Amino acid sequence: MVGSRSTTPPIEVIDAAWPKPWIFFRAFLATVVIFLAFHFAWRTFENAMLVPGLIITGSFAMPLSTVILFVELNARRNVSMFQVSKMVIAGGLLAMIISLLLFEVSDAVTPSWLGRSIGGLVEEPAKVLALLIVASLPRYKYILNGLLFGAAIGAGFAAFESAGYAFVTGVATKDPDIMTTSILFRGLLSPLGHIVWTAMCGGMLWKVKGDQLFRFRMLLNLRFLRVLAIAIVLHMIWNSPLQIPFFGKYLILGLIAWVIVLALVSEGLRELHRGKAKFLRTRSDASATLRPENK
């Protein structure tokens, strides 16, 4: 329970070593148990009032657990769960709205042969725009903050999208097994898609931004544009008809994204280490200045 102005620890006590995140795994197990309980109740009683709970718990289980992983990776411990919840809910919803608006525009100007791959060109910039609207606060200046905010917005987007697909599938097929398969498929793959795509964009944008106020020119920085382009390409290939046995396509694309994310986590920890060392050096110099001379 950290992250508010009164509960954020000072930088000199921060451990800049690699975190050991395990809470996310316990959260994942808890949400899976709840989902299985809803599924058991649905299969036993076939009561339609259980369907919303089945969809919500199944769609949010893995995305929320992955967000908790990024909370644990945020070694600076300066982001509260209130802020994270706001990013997931408000940021995810805003990203969906912006995406729908951009889809309305893109339908008239994009070639039909792109098919579902157009989602990469539309949804990745939409999530970045939502990230800037809800998370561009000066006090959150660290790379690890950008990774967390991006992951939270990506998780909200992924969960809301999965819930929508599950609902549409259930209504269209009237088959609970097909709907459950959709929930499981999208839920299990969610840490390889929207969450990490937006996380790596957020991490790089925060690396470019640093402790400055956001400026539009930061979006034109080549380092950020490179990562955004990678996210768009990964998303487009994800949505393409290309398939590799045993979900190979999704695993390969997810691995590429996670390599970038972990590299940014490493850079974020080095940033914390430099900040901590600078603070301690400044305090030491100040103490030496104030110390009376020995006579």
Determine which helix (DSSP H) or strand (DSSP E) holds 112, and give its type and residue range: none
Comparing CA positions, the residue from 239, 136, 130 lying closest to residue 193 is: 239
Q: What span, in angstroms and rounded, lies between the C-alpha atoms of 151 and 22?
A: 17
The sign of the CA dihedral 1, 128, 158, 254 is negative
CB of 62 within 8 A of CB of 28? yes
pLDDT in tens, the chain (295 residues): 788 878 898 888 888 889 888 899 999 999 999 999 999 999 899 898 999 999 999 999 999 999 999 999 999 999 999 999 999 999 999 999 999 999 998 877 777 778 889 999 999 999 999 999 987 777 899 999 999 999 999 999 999 999 999 999 999 988 888 999 999 999 999 999 999 999 999 999 999 998 888 888 999 999 999 999 999 999 999 999 999 998 999 999 999 999 999 999 999 999 999 998 888 888 777 777 766 654 4
- Record the pTM: 0.93
Rounded Cα gap, residues 258 and 256, in angstroms: 6
Residues 6+ apart with CB under 8 A from 242: 249
